[in-house]
């Protein structure tokens, strides 16, 4: 039996909260936990943006994803234990909690009222597939020096004929290729 998209999204939210708890309690390797949080939040947000948000009005949510992404990057760069790390962690948790609350109290109930159970399951499968793809890509690259090189990405971008590719840095190339669906 397929799982509905609301259950899947909510399950991820609880996982994210558990990771924040671990970071706040300073349990285990905090860098590894930040990497895990980064991968999960990024994959979750992209899957929502690509597979769930398009059917509903979610401009505000997309803005909040961007805000969290900036804080996540800052957290990844900071050294655990420094004031910068702890401050960024607090800000990121606030930002994500606020977003999760809105999603669960407004956006997801609205979605549930607008589509039938079958559609919620179809969206669930689409969300999960996209999320798992992203998660695999993000976690396989992190152990072996960031995955594809910029030159490899540039070649891909040439093949996909992505406009403005020569002006792009590695991350922008990755993003453009992702949007182009390759």
Residue (of 38, 12, 14, 18) closest to 142 by Cα position: 38
Stretch that binds Fe ion, among 24-32, 97-105, 131-139, 148-156 (CB under 5 A): 97-105
As measured in angstroms, the least distance from the Cβ of 159 to Fe ion is 32
Interhelix angle 30-47/117-143, nearest 10 degrees? 140
d(CA 161, CA 18) in angstroms, rounded, equals 42
With beta carbons less than 8 A apart as the criterion, state whether 153 and 182 touch: no
Select the residue interacting with Fe ion from 8, 30, 38, 48 (CB under 5 A).
48
Q: Which is nearer to Fe ion, 48 or 156 (CB)?
A: 48
d(CA 34, CA 40): 10
Q: How far is the CB of 105 from Fe ion (least distance, A)?
A: 12
**Stretch near Fe ion under the rule CB under 5 A, chosen from 6-14, 34-42, 112-120, 169-177:** 6-14
CB under 5 A: which stretch of 4-12, 27-35, 80-88, 174-182 binds Fe ion? Answer: 4-12
134 touching Fe ion, by CB under 5 A: no
Evaluate whether 40 touches 15 at the Cβ level (below 8 Å).
yes
Length of the chain: 182
Which residue number, 65 or 165, has a Cβ lying nearer to Fe ion? 65
Residues that bind Fe ion (CB under 5 A): 9, 48, 103
């Amino acid at each position: 039996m397929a799982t509905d998209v609301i259950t899947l999204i909510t399950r991820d939210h609880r996982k994210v909260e558990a990771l924040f708890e671990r970071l706040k309690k300073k349990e285990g390797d905090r860098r590894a936990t930040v990497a895990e949080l980064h991968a999960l939040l990024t994959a979750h947000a992209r899957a929502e943006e690509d597979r769930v948000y398009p059917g509903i009005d979610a401009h505000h949510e997309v803005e909040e994803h961007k805000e969290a992404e900036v804080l996540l990057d800052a957290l990844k760069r900071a050294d655990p234990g420094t004031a910068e790390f702890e401050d960024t962690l607090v800000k990121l948790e606030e930002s994500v909690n606020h977003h999760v609350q809105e999603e669960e109290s407004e956006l997801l109930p609205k979605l549930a009222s607008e589509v039938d159970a079958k559609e919620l399951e179809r969206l669930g499968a689409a969300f999960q597939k996209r999320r798992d793809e992203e998660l695999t890509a993000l976690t396989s690259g992190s152990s072996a020096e960031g995955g594809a090189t910029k030159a490899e990405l540039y070649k891909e971008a040439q093949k996909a004929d992505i406009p403005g590719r020569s002006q792009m840095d590695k991350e922008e190339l990755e993003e453009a290729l992702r949007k182009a669906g390759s």
